[in-house]
Amino acid sequence: MESNKNFESQVPQDVLSKDFLSQFKTEEDVSNFLKTLHTQVVE
């Protein structure tokens, strides 16, 4: 669990905003977003 605290302290607050998070309705939505983000980071 300690790693989660470290991760949370590195995530910009606007990413954790209710407005941002509300776009994800399902686990699949989150997964697709993370896959897209990963692809963009790797490129």
Domain boundaries, the chain: 2-42
Which 3 state secondary structure label does DSSP give 42?
helix
Confidence (pLDDT) at 1? 45
CA 8, 10, 13, 15 torsion: positive or negative? negative
Those residues whose C-beta lies under 8 Å from the C-beta of residue 24, and which sit 6 or more positions away, are: 30, 33
Local mean pLDDT, 10-residue blocks, the chain (43 residues): 59 83 95 94 89
